[in-house]
Amino acid sequence: MIHIESLAALRAVVRDAVASRQAVRFVPTMGALHDGHAALIRAARADGGLVLVSVFVNPTQFGPNEDFARYPRTPGADAALATKAGADALWAPLVEDVYPAGPSARLSAGALGAVWEGAFRPGHFDGVATVVAKLLVASGADVLYLGEKDYQQTVVVRRLIRDLLLTTEVRVVPTVREPDGLALSSRNRYLSADDRRAAAAISRGLRACAKLAADGERRADALLVHLQDVIGGEPRVTVQYAGIADPDTLEPVTLLNAPARALVAAYVGATRLIDNILLVPPTP
Ligand code: PAF
């Protein structure tokens, strides 16, 4: 696997790929790679072409009181995991490469970035939109691989690509989970042993909600009460928001007449985790 830092080196690798008619398959990450990232890289590998992984802890998507400084940075382990999963190149740019003039020009994620996660993390999706646009322009990615765990991010990025008239195709890869259902996340490593055990309540609640929906409950408020009841059975977990959203517009759904997304953010001890699940009502 090739290690790339500078933009010039990145451009040379991409130029070679284009010259040899290989598609650029791009997996953007913030490092602290785990099996969820490996699934993205493996999906890209299976699709063929140049598999390019970026590792960049993007400062502009963290709020002032968030964990930017202590976000886990594990370059050696990241390189080993990316190599094993089939990456061809690992691009780890410096902050000054991505923001050469400082964090000035900034994209807005608009209304899609202001709801759910965005309501509790103001500016977060503007930072994501800004950095993803920069990474796509720099890499010339043909296909972008994103994890379903960050569902709202997938919606924001799809819209961004459309708005900017980019031609990058988006592939969303299913969430990878621990045996007890906990969605893999770089932030899981913050959990104490007790918090780790308690954190499984989030996916338990989501699964219970999806089952109730599949069994025919269409009222979003009833589905959400059930979700909260299951999660609330675990005292270490505090739900910050739980909602049911239209999968494309992210608008709240009151009656489940079509598939929708249940979205949750919760604190487990001091660690904030997010997760989601697809709700599919029975066909009438
Ligand atoms: O999902 C992430 O890890 C980040 O939000 C991303 C897409 C790499 C942008 O910094």
133 lines ligand 1 (CB under 6 A): no
30 lines ligand 1 (CB under 6 A): yes
The β-bridge partners of 170 are: 144
pLDDT of residue 103: 66
Residue 76: CB atoms within 10 A of its CB come to: 7
The residue segments making up the domain with residue 33 are 2-173
pLDDT bracket for residue 79 (50, 70, 90) = very high
Atom of ligand 1 nearest to the CA of 128: 9
pLDDT of residue 102: 79
Mean pLDDT of the 237-257 span: 98
Does this model's pTM top 0.95? Answer: yes
**Percent of the chain surpassing pLDDT 90:** 97
Residue 40 · residue 147 · CB < 8 Å: yes
Mean pLDDT of the 47-66 span: 96
Domain containing 43 — which CATH number? 3.40.50.620
Strands (DSSP E) contained in 106-214 are 143-147, 169-173
> Of 76, 77, 57, 75, whose CA–CA distance to 67 is shortest?
57
User: Does residue 282 form part of some domain?
Assistant: no
Domain containing 256 — which CATH number? 3.30.1300.10
Atom of ligand 1 nearest to the CA of 30: 3
Query: Do both 31 and 104 map to the same domain?
Result: yes
